[in-house]
Structure 1
Amino acid sequence: MVIYFDLDDTLYRLYDPFYKAYQKVFHEDLDIYALWKQSRIYSNEIYPKYLNKLITKDELSIYRLKNAFKDFHQFITNQQALDFQKVYEDQQAHLTLSSTMKELFNYLKEKNISYGIITNGKEKTQMNKINSLFPIIDFPIIISEKVGYQKPQKEIFELIQGNDSYYVGDGYEIDMMGAYQAGVKTIWYNHQKQEKDTSFIDFVVYSDEELLEVVKKLNND
């Protein structure tokens, strides 16, 4: 068995560095979680253009944050959006795995279960996050910018080496559908509790603890 993981919002919560950055940069009394969710909608909308080098990182940062604020009838400048992005990236460089996630990866090592990461994004940005989460990197990492494919393209999932392969991710369309189309078994980490058709998904979990239990079950432990 081999298990590959998504990075963003699977191994750590995207909201955590967003919340910390907001507290440092802005003072408006907004629902920060709701603002973050809106920023993710705008980010997902334009992110493929960024990956394909049709827009810059600054343009991406400005677009997703300014539009999220507009939805709450608040207006920020381009410079405020860029200032936030700088602090946000600094917070992303100080990520940590939860205690349960640490237990999960210790379990995989103890049982000699192969694992890796598949993530969309720029190589430097994603590696900074991975280096923050893992003191030792002794597993394969597949990053879209480096390999020339991006989720949900099935080609990126076909790079998984080994039989009886599973992919763990929080994204329904980008992770679950992409992996399924490549013949990879799926574990949907649905921590946002979305209501979707799960008939083609092998396992659905809602917490780190449930994910750990499923992995142990797959290993007949």
Structure 2
Amino acid sequence: MTAVITDIDQVLTTTRAVRRRMDFTRPVQRTVVEECLRLAQQAPMGSNLEDWRIVAVDDPELKRQLGRLYTEVWHQTVEGPLATGEAATTTRLSPDVRPDQVSKDRQERVLRAVKHLVDHLEEVPVLVVLCSTKPIPERPVGGAASGYYGSIFPFAWSFQLALRSRGLGSVMATALAHKARRVQEVLALPEDWRPVTLLPVAYTQGLDFRPAARAELSEVAFWNGATEPAGTA
């Protein structure tokens, strides 16, 4: 399939998390998904081992079951904790704790978009489940954790970039990993195929995505330590 966006800088700066602008009515051919997956296989990988396993789902009943699990995750990790004022979730997700009105409005839009995807996940043409066969790291940071996540997420991002260049959108729905065991059961996966993230895939409604608002480079990047801000060269 010929790419519709060929400028690499445009692809890198306009590949957004797409939820509300997914076109649920336009079919996505398996050949397109597989082409993007082949490109993603060129992503860097830990220990030079392809420990990723990919399961693309277009069966309506399987999508329905995955959608039900995703709804459970939403209620258990977002809607419920926010309603009760659970501290960690409120600090992380609530618009009310954002420092200014612009940030509050942006977070409200994000939550509405996530809920939109929750409500319509089974309508997404293709759901791609990315799994890892690496041993689960004992610690969440350092050691084996770097290699565990350092292979699957470069693959995921490369896949998303390939999709964007072809007029499709996606979002990294990592929350489904809360139900990893049940995802394995729904898809009848081997024991060592451990779901890490879900990527819903659909054509986008329009291609006019723009670069997102981000902090100044000098606020987040530095030279030779933490005292010399980048962005002055």
Q: TM class, shorter-chain normalised?
A: under 0.3
Instruction: Give 1 or 2 for the bigger CA radius of gyration.
Output: 2
TM-score, normalised relative to structure 1: 0.22
Higher relative contact order (CA 8 A, sep 6+): 2
TM-score, normalised relative to structure 2: 0.21
